[in-house]
């Protein structure tokens, strides 16, 4: 059997920007066959760049078409690409300043084609912008690290989540999975998923913070694991949170993950909830990711 080599450390399946870093080789899928989905998933900066490039190329092509017709634009300098380009811009956007206008049948034909293209482009561009703005998104902050520590006498995996928006997420639900490499008796390596049971997986109102807690007992996939064994198995804890955003009245979702080196053992999260003298609760997000060691260490 061919020996399979694994890197010492695998990158996050879920990146810190919530994207998925997976390379695909030999797939027949192409962005050009699914342009709409590709444009929806682009970042805003890349989306704007694509629109600018497409708009410029389209006007440049029509400018060349006008130049191919000779002196066909009134008040334009003969052979001037700049005049033809800006005449194309006016035509595609239906601006109609009136200084330049077609004076031959050829130019009128190109203008008619470009007006149709501009109308279709405006309709598609408006749809794309609306789809991107109306797509529900979540603003949930996850702690940079997770911890394994004793809580109420039981060894527990814990991490934090917080709603960064000043609104409420109804019926929030959290799913946590363990992903790790396992070797079969034949020597084959397989990436296996295991669900981790949470102490509380649902929250009727997710307003401030939420500590995800998984008790590591005999029924836990983490039972018997050590800090070293988790590193050796290239494990990753994947967290998926869903809920109903009260502002847009739509289901939102977000995800996060923790590698073995991002799980601190025998640590506690710093308390971030403070009660003010007037009874108001204060959440100190400046210490949201902070942990402190505990005096008594435990092992699985």
- Domain positions in the chain are 31-134, 140-293
Q: How far is CA 138 from CA 4, 207, 210, 295, in A?
A: 39, 13, 15, 37
Of 129-133, 208-212, 215-219, 293-297, the least confident: 293-297
Q: CA gyration radius for the chain? A: 29
**Considering the entire predicted model, what is its pTM?**
0.70
Class of residue 62 by CB neighbours under 10 A (exposed 0-12, middle 13-18, buried 19+) = buried
Of 10-14, 61-65, 251-255, 258-262, the least confident: 10-14
Q: Where are the extended beta strands (E) located within 93-168? A: 101-102, 140-142, 146-151, 154-163
- With a cut of 80, say whether residue 28 has pLDDT above it: no
Among residues 95, 55, 99, 61, the alpha carbon closest in space to that of 77 is found at 99
Region at 255 (left for phi over 0; alpha for psi -120 to 50; beta for the rest): beta
The helix/strand/coil state of 161 is: strand
- With a cut of 90, say whether residue 91 has pLDDT above it: yes
Mean pLDDT for all residues in the chain = 85
Among residues 255, 154, 142, the alpha carbon closest in space to that of 199 is found at 154
| Most confidently modeled range among 108-117, 134-143, 180-189, 268-277 | 108-117
- With a cut of 90, say whether residue 19 has pLDDT above it: no
CATH, domain range 31-134: 1.10.287.70
Cα–Cα distance, 216 to 174 (Å, whole number): 17
Q: Which residue has the higher pLDDT, 74 or 297?
A: 74
- With a cut of 70, say whether residue 14 has pLDDT above it: no
- With a cut of 60, say whether residue 297 has pLDDT above it: no
Region at 70 (left for phi over 0; alpha for psi -120 to 50; beta for the rest): left
Cα–Cα distance, 119 to 85 (Å, whole number): 18
Give domain 140-293's CATH architecture: Sandwich (2.60)
Written as six digits, the tokens of 75 are: 């008040």
Tokens 């130019």 found at = 107
């Amino acid at each position: 059997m061919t020996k399979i080599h694994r890197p010492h450390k695998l990158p996050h399946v879920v990146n810190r920007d919530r994207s998925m870093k997976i390379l695909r080789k030999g797939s027949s899928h192409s962005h050009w066959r699914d342009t709409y989905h590709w444009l929806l998933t682009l970042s805003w900066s890349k989306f704007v760049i694509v629109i600018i490039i497409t708009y410029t190329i389209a006007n440049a092509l029509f400018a060349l078409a006008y130049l191919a017709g000779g002196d066909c634009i009134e008040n334009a300098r003969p052979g001037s690409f700049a005049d033809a380009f800006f005449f194309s811009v006016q035509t595609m956007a239906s601006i109609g300043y009136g200084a330049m206008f077609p004076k031959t049948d050829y130019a009128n034909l190109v203008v008619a084609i470009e007006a149709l293209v501009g109308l279709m482009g405006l309709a598609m561009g408006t749809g794309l912008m609306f789809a991107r703005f109306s797509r529900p998104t979540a603003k949930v902050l996850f702690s940079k690290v997770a911890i394994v520590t004793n809580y109420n006498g039981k060894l527990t995996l814990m991490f934090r989540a917080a709603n960064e928006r000043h609104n409420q997420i109804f019926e929030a639900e959290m799913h946590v999975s363990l992903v790790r490499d396992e070797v079969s008796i034949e020597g084959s390596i397989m990436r296996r998923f295991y669900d981790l049971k949470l102490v509380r997986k649902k929250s009727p109102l997710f307003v401030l913070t939420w500590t995800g807690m998984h008790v590591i007992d005999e029924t836990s996939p983490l039972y018997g694991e050590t800090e070293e064994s988790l590193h050796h198995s290239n494990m990753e804890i994947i967290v998926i949170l869903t809920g109903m955003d009260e502002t847009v009245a739509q289901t939102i979702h977000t995800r996060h993950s923790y590698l073995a080196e991002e799980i601190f053992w025998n640590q506690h999260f710093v308390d971030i909830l403070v009660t003010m003298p007037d009874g108001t609760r204060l959440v100190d997000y400046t210490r949201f990711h902070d942990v402190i060691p505990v005096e008594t260490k435990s092992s699985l």
